[in-house]
Amino acid sequence: MQIYDVLIIGAGIAGLNAAINLPKEKKVLIVCKENSWDCNTFYAQGGISVAVDKDDIKAHIEDTLSAGAGLCDKKAVEVMCSEGRDAVDLLIKKGFKFDRDEDGHLLYTKEAAHSTNRILHAGGDATGREIHLFLMQNNPHPLMYKTTVVDILKEGDTIYGVRVYHQGKFKNIYTKNLIIASGGIGSLYEYHTNARSISADMQGLALECGCELRDMEMTQFHPTVFVGMQKARKQLLSESLRGEGAYVVNKRGERFLFDYDKRGELSPRDIVSRAIYDYKQKHKDDTVYLSFENFEKEFFKHRFPTIYYNLKGLGFNLPEDRVPISPAFHYFMGGIKCDIDARVENFKNLYVVGEVASTRVHGANRLASNSLLEGLVFPIRAIKDILNQEQNFPHKEFEEKEEILFKEGDKVLKNELRKIMWEKVGIIRSKKELKVALNRVDEILLKDIGKLLRLRLLTSKEIIKSALKREKSLGAHYIKE
Ligand SMILES: Cc1cc2nc3c(=O)[nH]c(=O)nc-3n(C[C@H](O)[C@H](O)[C@H](O)COP(=O)(O)OP(=O)(O)OC[C@H]3O[C@@H](n4cnc5c(N)ncnc54)[C@H](O)[C@@H]3O)c2cc1C
């Protein structure tokens, strides 16, 4: 029986950064659902936040706590902001190239709710893609594509491995340590910015396995996505655009955000999302646009090449044309509860890193560009913890069970769930609508459905239950009283 030292679920920044920091001699396997680039990391545009120097750590902590609206774990935030610089420097030392000016100095930009310029970027607005490519190129361990984890093999407080579905077959994979790095929950929502593979099944499995899920109502919506496309995954228009001078306007060119918050375009993303959502509800005959009138063409093309060329392909000539926008689901602050070494409570050998983890570094609202940083810092801590443990775990074989992953009719119900989540568990919530959502999710759970849909429903149910428990609005969770 093949037993890995470490099995990593997910090939985004968190999973791959764990892998590249594990010595070559260790037996490591990474699994991911589709192709390796089908992950949120690949789509990250704006950049990665990091304290510019030692003096800036305090301000970075304060900005993060302030965005988190009182729900952050201060210790976890201190860890992320103070160890972030080393984690980023390690990446640079390994050869990663962030954008620099002509004299070779790192270029830092600003994003909403940061008190200073501390966002590093690469390839202009292709930071995630560049980091992902770099980590893939430097990963010394095997990676199994098109492999969906469909169960966690455990007994008591010990994890023995996972069951996967790969090329039409089920297979058990055994490990001494399991790291879950499976990302967020985007595909639960009708409109979202996430990769296709990000569909909340691991959160459902974790729940079944006995892990505690925390802050599940804390879902962040991105204020500015291009709405004129059919796919559920919408083209994101990075917040750096507003940070560097793009305006949100109505069809008459009026900047209405100041009616909602004195910081206008530089307000935190949940305020901008709600403002645009509210404006659209109140002015159904109007359209909301992102306007780039302040940008020079050559600068724009160089600084935001992904957005420039993607939108060009859709018929827009930037920065001259303005682009119709809407908010969409974007990021999940909640997740599987863990400590600052990424350990999951009550398990000997289970770790969780990246967007799927609830370290509470984001609290009730994530500060822009802190998630890539989280994906660099905490996997390094998890690896240190694993390498410091005595690796004398017992081994056990589990039955090679078949599972029914899909059933006829699942697709219709899955789409219904996505509509429910967008309309009733979205940007503006009410107790009444949340209860309607909960009842319908319970009804669907009683139907004859496949396992993957059931896992999505279990995660959705936790989100709705947490939203119902929180009486007052906080951070990204906004409830009409
Ligand atoms: C459009 C967009 C732009 C963003 N821009 C920024 C930004 O500028 N700065 C920033 O800090 N953050 C940004 N974010 C957020 C950030 O990209 C993510 O939070 C981060 O990349 C998550 O990394 P991760 O490794 O946790 O998960 P991901 O990169 O999403 O990877 C998850 C992996 O888990 C695998 N997986 C999932 N379920 C299973 C399963 N059941 N079995 C096997 N494998 C599974 C997937 O296949 C995938 O490989 C952005 C997000 C999006 C969507």
Over residues 125-130, the mean pLDDT reads: 94
* CATH code assigned at 115: 3.50.50.60
Q: Closest Cα to atom 6, ligand 1: which residue?
A: 44
* CATH code assigned at 466: 1.20.58.100
pLDDT of 355 over the 80 cut = yes
What is d(CA 58, CA 63) in angstroms, rounded to the nearest whole number? Answer: 9
Query: What pLDDT, on a 0 to 100 scale, did the predictor assign at position 46?
Result: 84
Query: What pLDDT, on a 0 to 100 scale, did the predictor assign at position 1?
Result: 81
Between the CA of 258 and the centroid of ligand 1 the distance, in Å, is 32
Q: Closest Cα to atom 41, ligand 1: which residue?
A: 149
Which residues are part of the catalytic machinery? Answer: 269
Assess if residue 404 is contained within a domain.
no
300 and 272 assigned to the same domain: yes
434 and 312 assigned to the same domain: no
In the three-class reduction of DSSP (H, G, I as helix; E, B as strand; rest coil), residue 123 is classed as: coil
Task: Report how far apart, in Å, the C-alpha atoms of 368 and of each of 229, 344, 360, 396 are.
Answer: 25, 26, 15, 43
19 and 101 assigned to the same domain: yes
Domain that holds residue 249: 221-329
**Number of domains into which the chain is organized:** 3
Residues 180 and 10: beta-carbon distance below 8 Å: yes
Q: Which residue has the tokens 């789509």?
A: 43
In the three-class reduction of DSSP (H, G, I as helix; E, B as strand; rest coil), residue 290 is classed as: strand
Position in ligand 1 atom list of the atom nearest CA 41: 21
314 and 356 assigned to the same domain: no
**Which residues does a 6 A CB cutoff place in the pocket of ligand 1?**
9-15, 31-34, 38-41, 43-48, 127-128, 147-149, 181-183, 193-195, 197-198, 201-202, 236, 331, 354-356, 369-372, 375
82 and 191 assigned to the same domain: yes
Query: What pLDDT, on a 0 to 100 scale, did the predictor assign at position 240?
Result: 81
Q: Which of 329, 362, 384 is the last residue of a domain?
A: 329
344 and 418 assigned to the same domain: no
113 and 211 assigned to the same domain: yes
Structure-block tokens of residue 292: 């780039």
Assess if residue 405 is contained within a domain.
no
210 and 344 assigned to the same domain: yes
Assess if residue 8 is contained within a domain.
yes
Please give the model's pTM, rounded to 2 decimal places: 0.94
120 and 7 assigned to the same domain: yes
Between the CA of 468 and the centroid of ligand 1 the distance, in Å, is 27
Position in ligand 1 atom list of the atom nearest CA 45: 8
Q: Which of 329, 355, 385 is the last residue of a domain?
A: 329
Q: Closest Cα to atom 10, ligand 1: which residue?
A: 369
Rg (Cα) of the chain, in Å, rounded?
22
pLDDT of 112 over the 80 cut = no
pLDDT category of residue 393 using cuts at 50, 70 and 90: confident
440 and 380 assigned to the same domain: no
The percent of residues above 90 in pLDDT, for the chain, comes to 89
Over residues 309-313, the mean pLDDT reads: 93
